[in-house]
Structures are given as structure tokens and as C-alpha cells.
Amino acid sequence: MPFYPGPGLGGHCIPVDPQFLSWKAKSSQFYPYFIDYADEINRSMPEYVVKKISELLNEEKKSVNGAKILLLGVSYKENVGDVRESPAFDIGSQLLDMKACLSYADPYVESFMDIKRVDEKKQDLSNYDLVVIVTAHREFDVKRILKESRLVLDCRGVTLDMDSKAKLKRL
């Protein structure tokens, strides 16, 4: 099964189980540096995404402060409504701390933090300074998103084979 970079790990097992394995190995005098290093990288990804968001907006002469940003997908993986340990929490919190005007669209998640929920299909995406694909649900019309958005950050690699009218960046 191939794995691709993303905005971080979530769910009830993948972020936690390797830490148990690492702890157990250390109790036997074995030091699993690779597991610990992978965990460090995975936990830093939301911060990396926020840094990319800031850089993209700066290239457009915009600040995160006051920027209208739409997070597409906030569950921890595609096509489910489970938000346990979702990287969208850290991304959203950091952007709110930076005074971004956040909205989110997720067909599986009714409420998320104190962020306004919108229906991606009914939005004029050109009204957003940036659209961030955090979780790639099958319901999202990626071609439409690329056609109508001014600026897109693809954190899931769903735009790899697509042309875009929007300015597009990928992790």
C-alpha cells in the first residue's frame, strides 16, 4: 500500500500505536530512532502546512490576518466523519490564532471547532483568498475547485494530474 505526504496523521491508532511500540522497545534496551523521528515529522506537519499557507498568501501580498481561507475536509482521513486527532485541529487553531477568517467544508462533519461550516458546492470559491485541501473526500469536485479558486494548497496530492486556472501549490 503506498503512502503519500499529507498535513499530518490522525485517527485513533496510527498517531498512538507507534509510540507504544517505541516505549516497549526502549524497555528492552532497543532504541527505535526511526519510529521516534517519524513521529516528530508527522507531528510537525500541521505547523509546516500553516507555514506554507502564510508563504502562499505573502506571495499574493496578503497576510494570514484577515485572509478568507476555506479548509476542505477536516476529518482525519477521506470519506469518513471521524475527526479524532485530525491535523485540521492544529491547522485551524494556528490559523485562528493568526486571525484568519476561516470556514470549512466537510460533508461528513457537522461541526468543527468554532469554525463556520459551508457547503463547498454552493460557494463562490473565488471569494476566498485561499482554498486548502486538507482531506480529499470523494464528494469534492476537484476540477471545479481548481477552476474557480484563486489560490489552492493541495495537502493530499489530488490535483497531480490536473490543469489549473488557480495558482496551485502542493505539499
Question: What span, in angstroms and rounded, lies between the C-alpha atoms of 170 and 160?
Answer: 8
From residue 64, alpha-carbon distances to 68, 142, 166 in Å are: 8, 24, 19
Question: What span, in angstroms and rounded, lies between the C-alpha atoms of 95 and 141?
Answer: 25
104 - beta bridge partners?
Answer: 71, 117
Crossing angle of helices 17-27 and 33-59, rounded to 10°: 140
SS3 label, residue 146: helix
Grid cell locating 127: 471569494
- Nearest by Cα to 67 from 58, 75, 80: 58
Residue 13 annotated as catalytic: yes
- Active-site residue among 12, 13, 81, 143? 13
8 Å CB contact between 94 and 44: no
Question: What span, in angstroms and rounded, lies between the C-alpha atoms of 87 and 146?
Answer: 23
For the annotated catalytic residues, the residue numbers are: 13
